[in-house]
Every structure is written in C-alpha cells, then in structure tokens.
Amino acid sequence: MLRWPLRIGAGALVLAVAYLGVTFVQVFQASRHDGAERAQAIVVFGAAQYNGTPSPVLRARLDHAAKLYQRGYADRLVVTGGRLPEDRFSEATASARYLRSKGVPDSSILREVQGRTSWESLVSTARFLKQRGVTDVVLVSDGFHSARIGAMASELGLKAHTSPTTTSPITGSETLPYLGKETLAVAAGRVLGFRRVSNAGQNVASG
C-alpha cells in the first residue's frame, strides 16, 4: 500500500531536482550573455554605497551603464536603490553623482530612491517609466542577476534586454553562491510569480 505514495514522492523529487538543474543552467547562461540592444532607457540596479561613494560592485555596474549610454544604446539612465535609516545617501543618489563624474548629464538621469529590493526598485521604475511612455529597457547588473531581473521585468510589462557588467569584483568561484541563490529565486518566481515571492520574503524578514 505504501509503494505508490513512495513512488509518487520519488517522482516528484526527481522532477524538482531536474527543474532546478535546468533553471541553474539558464541562470548561468544568462549570466554570460550580453543582450544589449537600442532601447528607451538603461536601468542600473543598485548595490551598496558608502557615504555617497559606490561600492566596487555598484561602480562596475555604473561603469558598464555609462559605456552603453555613451555608445547610444539609450538616451536616459535610471539609477535605483533606496537607503538604510543610518545612511546619508540613497544608492540611487550615489549612483547619479558617480555617473555625472563620468560625463553623463544630470538631465539624462532618472532616480528611483525608494526600493529596498530588486523587485521594489523595478516595480517603482516600471511605474514611472510607463508614465513617460517607456517600456523598452536595457537592464544592467551583475551577470548572476540577469535571469531574474529579466523575468521580473517581463512580469511587469517591460521589454527587457539584460547586459551584465564584465568588471564586477565578484568573479570565478565567488559567483557560485549567488548563482545558487538566483536559481532558487527564479525557480520559485516562475511558479508562484515574482511579486508573491518578493512579498513572502519581506514577511519572513519582518516576522
């Protein structure tokens, strides 16, 4: 009598492992693919900043975004990321200051300063970009992030092209934990929806 439940359970486990394996491959492939195309805006995902100075991770993303802008991939840049209570500057503010130092005019920079997570930042960004008639974007972050931010953008009605930085200080074997985390996030988001997964994560963090 117990054989069928055991077989069903074993089959479900095999399918789950296979699904995660396929998702990992897709996350890895996306991390190495530059899909930059001419678009309406370049969106840079935030990372840590220190008293207004971008961290090495954030600086690598901004350098890549600035090159895309200078090469004419889009006429405007969106920098994202809020701030912690003890911070003087938001990630977006630090990013905008850095981009200006790289020759990007302030009139070409839009700021999203509320988001505490990638999902929150992208929701807010999608909202004000759509108000401007912008739906075609290039997303810039670290490579391991590409699959998830591309999928989130699609869920929010954006046409997204991911273009990961190639100068991130997170390289080689250091990327493996990030790839694993992103694999789980993408796998869950595809099944449950990224909004629901994000909300669940925030409830756990605040619980």
Question: pLDDT tens-digit profile of 126-151?
Answer: 999 999 999 999 999 999 999 999 99
* pLDDT grade for 204, boundaries at 50, 70 and 90: very low
pLDDT score at 58: 98
* pLDDT grade for 198, boundaries at 50, 70 and 90: confident
What's the pLDDT tens digit per position in 161-186? Answer: 999 999 999 999 999 999 999 999 99
Task: Assess whether pLDDT exceeds 50 at residue 75.
Answer: yes
pLDDT score at 150: 97
Distance CA 151, CA 167 (A): 23
Task: Assess whether pLDDT exceeds 80 at residue 64.
Answer: yes
* pLDDT grade for 7, boundaries at 50, 70 and 90: confident
> In this structure, how many other beta carbons lie within 10 angstroms of the beta carbon of residue 22?
12
Task: Assess whether pLDDT exceeds 50 at residue 207.
Answer: no
Task: Assess whether pLDDT exceeds 90 at residue 59.
Answer: yes
pLDDT score at 12: 80
Class of domain 32-197: alpha beta
Looking at residues 61-73, what average pLDDT do you find? Answer: 98
Looking at residues 48-69, what average pLDDT do you find? Answer: 97
Count Cα neighbours of 145 within 13 Å in the Cβ-side half-sphere: 23
Which of 37-41, 51-55, 60-64, 83-87 is least confident?
83-87
Task: Assess whether pLDDT exceeds 90 at residue 200.
Answer: no
